[in-house]
Structure 1
Amino acid sequence: MSLSTPLLAAAPLLAGLLGPALIGAAPGPLQADRPTAAPVHATEHTEIVEHVAARTAAEQRRVLDYWTRERMARALPIGLLDLVTTGDGLLSGLTGRVGLRATPDLAGASKLPEPRRQAAARPATNTVGSRWAGGGAVARTTGRVFLTVGGADFVCSASTIRSANRDVVVTAGHCVKDGAGEWAANWTFVPGYGTGGAEPYGRYAARRMFVAEPWSRESNDDYDVAMVALATSRGRHVADVVGAQEIAFNTPRGGQAFGFGYPADPPYDGGDLVYCAGRLTADPYGQTRDQGLSCDMTAGSSGGPWMTTFDAATGKGTITSLSSFKYSDDPRTMYGPYFGDAVKTLFSTAERA
């Protein structure tokens, strides 16, 4: 495992890890009656690891019914996650380290500004966090993810992407699998999630999940990406209902990007789609190949899409990264993995599922 731990779900950020540590944490229990992960053949050098989630219509209905409004609202803070999980994943590897149960104050969360609930009529090209009020495609294609980790419930963010099967969403690897540990259960995507828990486009259960082998084997932050093939809802594919964003690989580094997600820790509450915008920069510590974006979004935004060539008028863009982690000494910069050949293979595998 690298020195990093990803930024998860409705959970306080962690601090106090060794060196220029990262803040956040990771999910994911395997459903007891589900098959274990199995390697999937890939045409590229990076193997893809698959998990079958809710296979049948009955299983998918059970997952969707699990998420009552009460369960959605009662997500545990990540500081309690080690009390309810066991195994050899990222979390168990951190157990006993200084700062595992550190308060959000240590990660700088209490020093962040109040949520920007009054968004400008014209979206800003430079912001560390504003409520998205521009509507358009991004308000439909971005959504919240609800998942269960060792009996506790958490949230992440994700986005639909244009795919052959019209079922694929992209999110962070740690929102699907706890590195070398277990897979998430009860995985459900709610596109266009709105204030007060609105679900204008319904909810979709995961049927198959995919991560790159370096993430599954050693929690390598360069590969903190997952693709999830969703089941249909009332016979309709998610992309046919909400549309989908484009995705691109091996794009030039740097440049302008817009990042979206549903941060749930203070000063945010998970009820609004929030965005950051600015220029991408390299990892100053050289620990990863990831790029950084000035962004004060908190836990819950993990897996939210980063788009280049983004058109604020239509809400359409090209996804080239996503929210993954923060360093504990810099809570104002979010880092996202570079979408190279491995992510391309991951996507091509998922869109055939």
Structure 2
Amino acid sequence: MSRRRILLVLAVAGTALTPPGLAADAGDVPQVDASPVMDPRRAVEYWTASNQSHADAADLPGHTAPPPGAERTPGMGRSPGTRSGVGRGVPDGSRLTPGGDVNGYARVARPYGGSAASRATGRLFLLDADGGRRSCTGAVVRSAGGLLVATAAHCVYGVSRRTGQGTWSSNLAFVPAYDGQGKGAPYGAWGVRRVWKPHAYTGAGMWDWDSVYDIALVEVGKRGSATLQDTVGAFTPMRGRAGRYTVVSMGYPSDPPYDGSHQLWCLGRTTVTPGYIRPMGTSGRLHTVNCHLYGGNSGGPWLDRSTGLLVGVLSSGAGDVPGDGYSVANPLGAEGYGVLVRQADPGGVYDALSVKGTRSPGRVTATVRMGGLMAAAQVPVTFRLPRGLSLAPGSSCAAVRQRVACTIAVVRPGSPARVSIPIKGRAPAHRKITVSVTSTSLDPNPRDNTHTFPNR
């Protein structure tokens, strides 16, 4: 029985077991696997224009856990890129992309260097576990070293059909703004030096083939003294969990009817769908029915349309069931992406939230800053009021006795965010107000996460 068929059978049966051998404590810190050091020059030499044009799409896994309330029908769990499937497309009422085709895709305007998002999106070429020429999509992400690309783990690691052994992909090369109908590699090809993935991703079964573990980071080599980030820019990743966004998905689908020569995009609205959460701790994944994304698009960026921040990378989907196709991306949680980037870019700081407060008559205000390379979504901010003071009417924050809980939607690097609450009452002069902001284990200096207000 094929792996995809096994996934479908188990999913239909409603399997909800803890993966064998994995700890049940969601607080456990996941382990990271690093590939051997690779030869970037060898990869660039291998991926000639001819070899690039003959690269097949890496399989896009079928999503095995539909959103709550979704009725599972035969065919769910299959890759939309399988040639045996008959793509029926996004229903007319769900197609949001202006000028989009039946699957929701529209072509990005050429030249691809014309926009920051297009430059930072590229085609990732590789030889899979059996030496087959394949391609995925990758997104350049901000890093201290300037050399990192985010993609899906199933693009960089797989199980050989011949030997049954898990194997790193080889001869990986990233081509930002790839244009198969124009200049090909307007910013050059960047050979890969090393790859990182969650240890829990084995490529062998349902527990990771379609799960929160399906995310990876790729480090490319330099071209002379230039870094990839210096050359094409980079997306700012947003630390967060699955939620409701309007996203722009970008990538290079290369399963028929697509050939990988065009950079395409799709507009979608996301909801939260379950994912296998232990031990990574990420609650949920990003799910859209507005885009039926095809093989070769794996690892492609999902960008929050309102901010341009990177909120996830494409992991799985199904597009061959009428009215029931969808695509799924993994969010960039601190427990997943954060742990990977700490290994891949040890010189980078990825969570450095800090808070300071000011007080005026009848009101206190907290200013939250991000000193790291990631943005943070849904940041909890907590005011603690001394007895005698309480939250006054007119606030969207929630109070339980002297504790007032607020949430800031997004805190971006270099852009302070503020939250203010009205207060009433009178407290003794020696009783002080404090405010704290919640960061993660990635924060190197948690001491500045709490601030005590002056009395007056």
| Structure 1 residue 123 displacement after superposition | 8.7
The equivalent residue for 1:129 is 105
Are residues 310 and 238 of structure 1, via their aligned partners in 2, closer, same or farther at CA, if it must alter by over 3 Å? farther
Is residue 298 from structure 1 mapped to residue 294 from structure 2 by the alignment? yes
Q: What secondary structure, in the 3-state scheme, does the structure 1 residue paired with 2:9 have?
A: coil
Are residues 217 and 278 of structure 1, via their aligned partners in 2, closer, same or farther at CA, if it must alter by over 3 Å? closer
Are residues 343 and 299 of structure 1, via their aligned partners in 2, closer, same or farther at CA, if it must alter by over 3 Å? same
The equivalent residue for 2:200 is 214
Q: What secondary structure, in the 3-state scheme, does the structure 1 residue paired with 2:118 have?
A: helix
The equivalent residue for 1:107 is 85
The equivalent residue for 1:159 is 139
Contact 1:303 1:324 in 2 (8 A): yes
Are residues 275 and 77 of structure 1, via their aligned partners in 2, closer, same or farther at CA, if it must alter by over 3 Å? closer
Residue identity over aligned pairs, in percent, reads: 28
The equivalent residue for 2:246 is 256
Are residues 244 and 310 of structure 1, via their aligned partners in 2, closer, same or farther at CA, if it must alter by over 3 Å? farther
Rg larger for: 2
Distance 1:188 1:223 in 2: 22
Higher helix share: 1
Distance 1:218 1:258 in 2: 30
The aligned amino acid for 1:326 is: G
Q: What secondary structure, in the 3-state scheme, does the structure 1 residue paired with 2:331 have?
A: coil
Contact 2:106 2:264 in 1 (8 A): yes
Distance 2:291 2:40 in 1: 35
Higher relative contact order (CA 8 A, sep 6+): 1
* TM-score, normalised by the number of residues in structure 2: 0.55
Q: What secondary structure, in the 3-state scheme, does the structure 2 residue paired with 1:182 have?
A: strand
Are residues 328 and 195 of structure 1, via their aligned partners in 2, closer, same or farther at CA, if it must alter by over 3 Å? closer
The equivalent residue for 2:266 is 276
Contact 1:225 1:343 in 2 (8 A): yes
Contact 1:53 1:185 in 2 (8 A): no
Give the alignment partner of residue 193 of structure 1, picking from 178, 187, 212: 178
Q: What secondary structure, in the 3-state scheme, does the structure 2 residue paired with 1:263 have?
A: coil
Distance 1:328 1:123 in 2: 19
Q: What secondary structure, in the 3-state scheme, does the structure 1 residue paired with 2:309 have?
A: strand
| Structure 1 residue 70 displacement after superposition | 1.7
Is residue 144 from structure 1 mapped to residue 140 from structure 2 by the alignment? no
Q: What secondary structure, in the 3-state scheme, does the structure 2 residue paired with 1:52 have?
A: coil
Give the alignment partner of residue 303 of structure 2, picking from 302, 307, 318: 307
Between 1:186-195 and 1:196-205, the stretch displaced more is 196-205
Q: How does 1:40-79 map to 2 (within 5 A)?
A: 45-54=29-38, 59-76=39-56
Is residue 320 from structure 1 mapped to residue 298 from structure 2 by the alignment? no
The aligned amino acid for 1:347 is: V
The equivalent residue for 2:439 is none
Distance 1:142 1:102 in 2: 22
Are residues 72 and 107 of structure 1, via their aligned partners in 2, closer, same or farther at CA, if it must alter by over 3 Å? same
Give the alignment partner of residue 327 of structure 2, picking from 330, 334, 343: 334
Distance 2:155 2:298 in 1: 7
The aligned amino acid for 2:176 is: P
Contact 1:196 1:271 in 2 (8 A): yes
Are residues 252 and 322 of structure 1, via their aligned partners in 2, closer, same or farther at CA, if it must alter by over 3 Å? closer
Q: What secondary structure, in the 3-state scheme, does the structure 2 residue paired with 1:323 have?
A: strand
Distance 1:167 1:61 in 2: 15
* TM-score, normalised by the number of residues in structure 1: 0.70
Distance 1:258 1:101 in 2: 21
Distance 1:199 1:147 in 2: 16
Contact 1:321 1:339 in 2 (8 A): yes
The aligned amino acid for 2:31 is: E
Are residues 76 and 229 of structure 1, via their aligned partners in 2, closer, same or farther at CA, if it must alter by over 3 Å? closer
Distance 1:241 1:187 in 2: 19
Q: Which sections of structure 2, spanning at least 5 residues, go unmatched?
A: 13-26, 60-76, 91-96, 160-164, 278-283, 348-456
Contact 1:129 1:276 in 2 (8 A): yes
Between 1:172-181 and 1:328-337, the stretch displaced more is 328-337
The equivalent residue for 1:244 is 234
